[in-house]
Amino acid sequence: MMKLIDERKENKRKLILEVVVVMITLLASCTLIMLSGLLEMETWLRVTLIAIGLVVMFGGIGVAAVLEMTAGYFECRKCGEYFVPTKTAYIMGAHTVMHRHLKCPHCGKRNWCRRRLAPKDEEKENA
């Protein structure tokens, strides 16, 4: 029981951390790119700033994606089973914050699966 409760907390923490990482990333990279456009400077410096801004942006999005990918389960709307998607399916799938279009490994149907923070057994107990 303790392990399941910790997992839920851990997954919630990851999702919160993900939002923080995305915000810091966007703030930092947008600031760099905006400064490079607004300030008078040498071309090489401008290019360098934009390059750093892009590296920060992609790096931050990568970290956020890893955090999100390892946080919790998805619930199939067709059969109600919970599952963890493969990395490829995860990256390729269209998504919103709490839903993702995935193929369910239990019934094989594609549908908008809902994110769950804990395994099915524990969700039932709290419902």
Shortest Å, Cβ 26 to Zn ion: 35
Interaction of residue 84 with Zn ion, rule CB under 5 A:
no
Please, what is the minimum distance in Å from the beta carbon of residue 86 to Zn ion? 15
Look up tokens 């493969």; give the residue.
86
H or E stretch covering 98: none
- Residue 101: other Cβ atoms inside 10 A: 14
Residues 99-118: x where in contact with Zn ion by CB under 5 A, - otherwise, as a string? -----x-xx-----------
Q: How far is the CB of 18 from Zn ion (least distance, A)?
A: 26
Backbone phi, then psi, for 100, in 5-degree steps? -150, 140
State the binding string over 63-82 for Zn ion (x if CB under 5 A, else -).
-------------x-xx---
Contact 77, 114 (CB under 8 A): yes
Report, in Å, the least distance between residue 91 CB and Zn ion.
Answer: 20
What is residue 22's three-state secondary structure?
A: helix
User: What's the Cα-to-Cα distance from 2 to each of 5, 8, 22, 106, rounded to whole Å?
Assistant: 5, 10, 30, 27
- Contact region for Zn ion (CB under 5 A) — 12-20, 25-33, 64-72, 98-106? 98-106
Place of tokens 């300030």: 39
- By the criterion CB under 5 A, which residues form the site for Zn ion? 76, 78-79, 104, 106-107
